[in-house]
Amino acid sequence: MEIRHPAVAIALLVIFGAPVRGKADKIDDYIIAQIKRLHVPGASIAIVLDGHITKAQGYGFANLELKSPATKETVYEIGSTSKQFTATAIMMLVEEGKVRLDDTITKYFPEAPQAWRAITIRHLLTHTSGIQNHVAVPHWIDVFRTNLAFEMAPSRDELLKMFFKLPLEFQPGETWAYDNTGYYLLGIIIEKASGKSYWQFLDERIFKPLGMNATRSTDPQPIVPNRASGYEWKNDHFENRPILLPAIAFSAGSLLSTVEDMAKWDAALYTEKLLKKSSLDQMWTAPATNDGTTRHSTMALAGSSKTITVTASSSTAAERRAFRQQCTDS
């Protein structure tokens, strides 16, 4: 399950491939037809060939009330694609010897329940920990409250205590299940191991070095130029939906970005700008589980930017998958 509210944001779509010469109009026609069919208020795309953007364009609206058009500079919530950055940050700390993949998470959470004692950081990264996905628990998201000053409750410590009460759905490494809770915990581990906030670490170690100047947290207080509004399709019309606040999704899904920044991110994954090839290979290798369940690599689980990235592109997770598949097939 992707981390999201019942409502969703405007689309961010990054397609990696070569446009056919003379067929730019067909690309435009196709995207326009798909966002209309799938009830997507607006979308931005970037087509990349040999590491260079050959087409970057917006379609529809970034804000329906103001009729602001979506452009290549539009800044969208990227949802669970944020997990890619969390995974990369952990691997950076692994390379520096500050984190070990086979460390049990009790090193960082000594108060964790006995049932969690065998869970490792590798399990969290690969969604094989067995920790129940808190987002999938009915009404669990309702525990979050915010006031007019954007102060969030429960506190981090209170939230952790609530996480620790979640039952294991299976023994660590036994099988695979998508887990936002594990990626939330990874963000806390990044802070404890680095001595910096999650946001500071990403900004200093990933965003600034790659020139991803538009990428940041979903914090609603700062003025973010070209920020898209979020909408939900309900029955036959759009409605506004709340921002996925950093305290709620944190390292599992609280980043904003643009298609041009995401193209820079993708290009970096083909190089050793951020990580050694050995680390990247580990991230792209599917983990083995005891029951042989079909699974994906750590980066693919977070939304593989090496193939096609679609985040919050329509009113349901099923429609987002359909949008992704149709764009891949085309």
Alpha-carbon separation of residue 261 from 34, 67, 206, 267, 291 (angstroms): 23, 24, 11, 10, 38
Cβ of 147: how many Cβ atoms within 10 Å? Answer: 8
What's the CA gap between 132 and 118, in Å, rounded? 15
Residue 75 identity: V
Q: Which of 59, 51, 9, 52 is nearest to 29 (CA)?
A: 59
CA atoms of 101 and 330, how far apart (whole Å): 38
Mean pLDDT in consecutive groups of 10 residues from the start of the chain, 330 residues? 36 48 73 91 88 88 94 93 95 97 96 96 94 88 79 88 94 93 97 98 98 96 94 91 88 95 91 94 85 62 39 37 47
- What is the value of pTM for the model shown? 0.85
**The pLDDT value given to residue 143:** 86
Q: Give the model's pLDDT for residue 25.
A: 78
Q: What are the CB-based long-range contacts (under 8 Å, 24+) for 199-203?
A: 199/246, 201/89, 202/85, 202/89
Long-range contacts at 19-27 (CB < 8 A, ≥ 24 apart): 19/47, 19/49, 19/54, 19/55, 24/55, 27/55
CA pair distance 116, 266, nearest whole angstrom: 34
* Predicted local distance difference test score (pLDDT) of residue 157: 92
pLDDT at 95: 97
